Amino acid sequence: MKKFILLMVVVVVCHHQAIAQQVPQFTQYLYNPVSINPAFAGSTKGFSAILMHRSQWSGFEGAPSTQMFSAHTPLHNEKVGLGLSLVSDGLGEEKFDYLYGDFSYTLQVGRTTRLAFGIKAGFTHYALNPNLLNRPDVQTDPYFNSYVASWSPNVGVGGFLYGKRWYVAASVPQMFNTDYIGSGDEIFYSATDSPNLYFTGGYDFLLAQSIVLNPTTMLIVADQASVSVDAGVNVKFYDQFMLGVNYRFNSYDAVGGLGSFMIGKRLMLGYAYEIPVSGIRPYTGGTHEFFLRYDFIPNIN
């Protein structure tokens, strides 16, 4: 516990000078926690890969759209985990692409308790839509004179403390501020990719044989932006399918429903639908999210 508290202090210290831009957020984050916390790499005890797609605020032109692929696995000693994440995140005429690798190391700190440390490293690519840049009015607009597409390196850290039925975790997926701006005497265009502090947690309550109640939460803290809190409750039946609800508290409060089910022993399909309850509710058809996850557990029966 002392080690975990120390890690939390380190993670909080790493969260500095943050502003609004953050790693893409998913309603079904519990199925892909390695995307925001490298300490989860290898925690599934076998190779795991997931494809996710999120279409946010359908009906809005230029609404956010995110695609993600990630995979991770433990090595033979189960203390070391490795992972890889590829993310494409578009909003209007802007696009962020993320390519990051993960490394984790796990310690046995109790009879049934483990503590994992993780580091994430890679590159973020920022670009504007070529169709926008080719417009005559944009080509003559001095606001875009300094724009250049660019790759920028970054690193992240995370910690993950867990037992048989519970976990708590904290992470900063990207520790460094990155300003995507041009060069020259006058700079008109800029965009910023900034660190954010994530706290997540969950607990499994056994309601009956093969029926589990799983409340989860995620807190995102960013300077100069509202705190975002996700609170959800999921019910898992016979390790075959799950139903749940989720509420997000931030500038655009939203409520969502989600579900997943197993296809055979290794493939899982999931869907979530989310609607805002703020002032934009009449103007959007809601948010749709899909995922397909493959888990290979050695020696499965």
* Digitized pLDDT (tens) for each residue of the chain, 301 residues in all: 444 444 444 444 444 333 344 567 788 999 999 999 999 999 988 999 999 999 988 877 778 899 999 999 999 888 999 999 999 999 888 899 999 999 999 999 999 999 999 999 999 998 888 888 888 888 887 777 767 788 889 999 999 999 999 999 999 998 887 766 555 555 445 566 678 899 999 999 999 989 999 999 999 998 666 789 999 999 999 999 999 999 998 867 899 999 999 999 999 999 999 998 877 777 888 899 999 999 997 764 4
Ramachandran area for residue 4 (φ above 0: left; ψ -120 to 50: alpha; else beta) = alpha
pLDDT at 193: 67
DSSP string, 35-86: GT-GGGTTTTSSEEEEEEEEE-STTSTT--EEEEEEEEEE-TTSSEEEEEEE
pLDDT at 226: 74
pLDDT at 16: 37
Domains contained in the chain, CATH given: 2-296 (2.40.160.40)
pLDDT at 53: 96
Q: Which residues, listed in sequence order, are joined to residue 80 by a DSSP beta bridge? A: 105
pLDDT at 13: 41
Whether the Cβ atoms of residue 213 and residue 204 lie closer than 8 Å to each other? yes
Distance, CA of 296 to CA of 74 (rounded, Å)? 11
Q: How many C-beta atoms surround the C-beta of residue 67 within 10 A?
A: 16
pLDDT at 140: 83
Contacts of 9 (CB under 8 A, 6+ apart): none
pLDDT at 22: 55
**Global pTM value:** 0.84
pLDDT at 279: 74
pLDDT at 7: 43
